[in-house]
Amino acid sequence: MILTVTTNPAIDFTVFGEEFIPHQTNRGQDMTPDPGGKGNNAARIARLLKSEVMVTGFIGGFTGDCIQDQLRREGIQTEYFPIGGTTRITLAFVEKGTARETKIVPFGPKISDDEAEAFCRHYEHLIKTHRFSIIALCGSLPRGLSADFYGKLIDMAREYEIPAILDSSGEALSEGIKHFAFLIKPNLAEAMELTGAGRNEIFDSMKKLSSKVKIIALTMGSDGAIFFSKQRTVRVHAETNEIVNPVGAGDAFIGGFAAAFDRFGAEEEQLFSWAVAAGTCTARSAGVIWSLDEFEKTRRSLTIEEMR
């Protein structure tokens, strides 16, 4: 079973329209609201790929109820920790044709010290009482949590010999990698911020950083991803780079990776190909979810090449 942790979940609304014009009314076709947040998106993809999945994190209010109800309908076990605040709502406006997106993302509720401490006890209880193959810690940290909060969760997972994925950015990522995560997934901008390296030096910086992280996946949008480990560097990409909606593609990448680990263990070709295929399928879809036939077709079409 996979556990995903979403500390700052959201209901995600996506609207497709023509060119986005600031300070004006922008109309378009809206999608059915999704139970969002990076960990929830990853969980939905892992469940689609036939893994048993549990989700946890902080949740509150009518929006929190909505998220949990929809995830349960998809066969995902929900063990969220209730808080006094109300879970946020986010909006993405995606331009037809170009797939450029404009996002509106509230900070979300502030977590109290008591809620943070109680969640850590809740999280440890879950990993004590269930057999998780891997844990994915996903998204931004809500207000009130310290930058090393994910690091604490990684340490607790390691005590029970469970590998942890860390999918975050900024301070949460820079602090979290000090605790030896199994996988991190920065995009190019996040990798440059993390290492202080320029575009030309980023590959060398990722190789050096692989001494602290088992696998680093440098995601590059339609160009796929480059995976760095101590032993090798591998590029994986799809034959075509058609993008319909990039929202959630990185989260699907994590879901594919976790599902592959749950099924195959640490077989790198499976991990890499499932992650890139899942992310590619979401980028080519209007929503987060797609068909298993499309996944298999995409996975078989991937190019996997060793780099020096």
pLDDT of residue 17: 94
pLDDT tens sequence across 252-265: 999 999 999 999 99
Q: In this prediction, what percent of the chain has a pLDDT beyond 70? A: 99
**Contact predicate 263/286, CB 8 Å:** no
pLDDT of residue 298: 93
pLDDT tens sequence across 112-136: 999 999 999 999 999 999 999 999 9
pLDDT tens sequence across 196-220: 888 888 888 888 888 889 999 999 8
State mean pLDDT over 298-304: 93
Pairing of strands 88-95, 101-104: antiparallel
List the one residue out of 252, 270, 262, 290 whose CA is nearest residue 38.
252
Q: Flag whether pLDDT at 193 surpasses 70.
A: yes
Distance set, CA 159 to CA 36, 154, 164 (Å): 29, 9, 11
CB atoms within 10 A of CB 299: 18
Residue ranges of domains in the chain:
2-307
Residues whose CB is less than 8 angstroms from the CB of residue 200 and which lie 6 or more positions away in sequence, other chains included: none
pLDDT tens sequence across 164-192: 999 999 999 999 999 999 999 999 999 99
Separation CA 5–CA 275 (nearest Å): 18
Separation CA 94–CA 192 (nearest Å): 26
Domain boundaries 2-307, corresponding CATH code: 3.40.1190.20
Buried residues in 47-57 as b, exposed as e (16+ CB within 10 A): bbbebbbbbbb
Separation CA 294–CA 291 (nearest Å): 5
pLDDT tens sequence across 35-53: 989 999 999 999 999 999 9
